[in-house]
Amino acid sequence: MNANVVTADAAAIDRAADALRAGALVAFPTETVYGLGADAANPVAVRAVFEAKGRPSDHPLIVHLADAKHLDVWARDVPDGARALARAFWPGPLTLILPRTALAGDAVTGGQDTVGLRVPAHPVAHALLVAFARRGGHGIAAPSANRYGHVSPTTAAHVADDLGDRVALILDGGPCDVGIESTIVAFAGDRPILMRPGRIGVDALARVLGRVPAAPSGGAPRASGTHASHYAPRTEAFLVDAAILPVEILRLTERDEVVAVLARAPKPAGFDGPWIEAPSDADGYARELYANLRALDAAGADAILIETPPDDPAWLAVSDRLARATHRG
């Protein structure tokens, strides 16, 4: 394990808060994935996040807050719908994109007039944000703690594998409970737009808003984690329908290719390659998705075949991540 990985006890959290105030980078767990944190009000520290990840400078970050009462420090002209979502789902895996205040600099927003905000539910993330606030910090900018475009990290070991000594400290708070990134809702005026699906589904959002969020259009702001190719293993990966999965395995193995498989069924007799049987429920599948992709990526295969998830609203977020992880072009 990397020497920078420490158990997230009270002393380590204080040490991490001090590091953030000094302009260093700290990785920490949230309920979704591990974040690579920097003082969101320090443009030099924020730029270091982009450098560590190899992230495009126009790809905006999400600012994590200790409490919803800090919303108006970072956002202005907050519509009623956004406040209703914050009351319903914060702390939790929801990001709101809103018009920014002067505190949200271009380094955080990717040069846009909007900022992404979230109050995480993970106890370590909350404790770190509170400790940072006690030291005068206003928020922690934190994308996923991995190299840009690669599979997101859900354990401290994943962070160490990807970023190593680029991070001053990695707080180990165990595996993430949700396992995929937050739902993102942007507000263009009072109009809510679902920018990225997550654990909080469309039906839950609609119950609070009184309407279904719109799909992104040309006028929507850029949002974290929405590029066509994202969350991808280094091994080439393909989505394959369950009915033709055996045929595709045979086709590749007959070409002497090593095939790794992620499916919701047990490993069949006669198949001797890497095979992970994923949970059959959407939340369980999501929780283990990135760890499973990383395990198959490390298996030395020529290709990863991923069984296409069910065409069901409960699987929308998983389908989104897999579509990006297997994107071509």
**CATH value at residue 115:** 3.90.870.10
pLDDT of 14 > 70? The answer is yes
- Does some domain include residue 225? no
Bond into 279 cis (ω within 30): no
In this structure, what is the dihedral angle of CA atoms 294, 300, 304, 306, given to the nearest 10 degrees?
-50
Number of domains making up the chain: 2
Q: How far apart are CA 77 and CA 287, in angstroms?
A: 35
Residues 95, 176: one domain? yes
Residues 242, 193: one domain? no
Mean pLDDT of 44-64: 95
What values do phi and psi take at 135, rounded to 5?
-95, 10
pLDDT of 188 > 90? The answer is no
Residues 42, 172: one domain? yes
Cβ–Cβ under 8 Å, residues 64 and 143? no
For the segment 259-281, what is each residue's pLDDT rounded down to a tens digit?
999 999 999 998 999 999 999 99
List b or e across 226-252, with b for residues whose CB sees 16 or more CB atoms inside 10 angstroms.
beeebbbbebebebbeeeebeebbeeb
pLDDT of 189 > 90? The answer is no
- Does some domain include residue 216? no
Task: Tell me which of 8-12, 79-83, 130-134, 189-193 is least confident.
Answer: 189-193
Range of the domain at 287: 237-325
